[in-house]
Structure 1
Amino acid sequence: MKGLIYREFYLSRKPAAYMLLSYVLFTGMIAMVIISTYAGNLAKDANAAETREYIYSQMYIYIGLIGFIGAVYGHNDLIEKDYKSKWQLYSYTLPVNEKKIIASKFIVRGSLLFAGFLLAVLGEVILSSAAKKPFSISHFKNILLIILLYGPICIGDIPLMLKMKTQAKAAAVALSVGAPLMAAAMYGVYKFVKFCIIEGRRLYPDLDSDAAMTKAAMPYITKWRDIALVIAPFFFVAVIAICYFWAVKELKRRRY
């Protein structure tokens, strides 16, 4: 099984290196822009403080996404490559059962997700240091929630790819299921924003519309996030268990 784990890591090394390079360049660029708002050309701008606060409050999410998505990118299409190269067929002759083969894939995928999480947290540390702010627990909670929601999607890709064989078919199935859910989520966001605009005008008439809406929305967002952080770990574990048994079942079918 150690050999299987090493193989999965080895075949994912190049995309992981490209991701790490992109992460370093993007994080460094954003950190330099933040520093420039008080020690560079941007410090001359009258709105330098607002610019620094805006960049710090937003960019940590994009840095986190680079870590989350980039870390598993090279591993996502490995099952399709195994199928096309006939490795999947060869693996049935190995002196290991299907459970160990699937376990190796889950271990690697989980390790890559954890590495992405660490990169996201590191990005927050770098940006907070550049902005001369303490490490944000609120930002950390947001990063943790994102990985707990994004992780099951990445884990679910393993049994789905074993069933569909190709990324194109798997993407088509995912879109057919995800599109209605995304549409419903977007509609919910639209209604929530509309509600917050009205509440912001009522509660904070002295503020501009964007600031009033944000201030009205934050108590709801914070409360829902904290509730989600309690539920998400159980959801994460349940999805992993379901996907593991589904993946083992698909591998035992030995369709080639």
Structure 2
Amino acid sequence: MSETSRDSLRERALALDAADPLAARRKLFALDDDGVYLDGNSLGALPVHVPARVQDVLTRQWGELRIRSWDESGWWTAPERIGDRIAPLVGAAAGQIVVGDSTSVNVFKAVVAAARIAGEGRDEILVDATTFPTDGYIAASAARLTGHRIVPVAPADVPAALGPRTAAVLLNHVDYRSGRLHDLPGLTAAVHAAGAVVVWDLCHSAGALPVGLDEHGVDLAVGCTYKYLNGGPG
């Protein structure tokens, strides 16, 4: 590439950056002036207002108000209050999202609940065999607790694997390795048609992609705040 061509591309890139309607959002995060930070899927950049908020929690809420902060600072209602702020990002109504525990603990609770909701006569839990192995380990523990059997299956093969013995299905919305977006509406409908309960893992989509939990009638879903919601270290 000639020097002239490189200069032309640089000028075009600078012009596009200057016209970007989201360019000013960069100032909301702690970033180096000359750096490009692309890691939003594991630990997003620190929002600049967070240190002051953390300091307030330490010095005023804990240090001064102490036990009164459960009421006066709203600690009691924080799980529901923050959940209501996340709800629009995943297409859920107020009151349906609660923040608490780790992703693994919540996946375990959701799979156990789904298996029990399905009722007697259904003893199989279908698990996404192609992505994030942690979910498979958690589902296996849930199966041991509830007396169910694990059936690993690729998401595309779920409709064919469903049957009268299927109690619950645990699926990842996005394949964390390839970025493939799985068919949440279609797979949810297929699981429901078989009389089973679906649990979606939204860790790699909540805050980055449209989800539509209410629109598509999702039974249970679990996500995390430390990827695309800039919630800090997990």
Length-normalised TM-score, structure 1: 0.22
Q: Higher RCO, 1 or 2 (CA under 8 Å, sep at least 6)?
A: 1
More strand by share: 2
Length-normalised TM-score, structure 2: 0.23
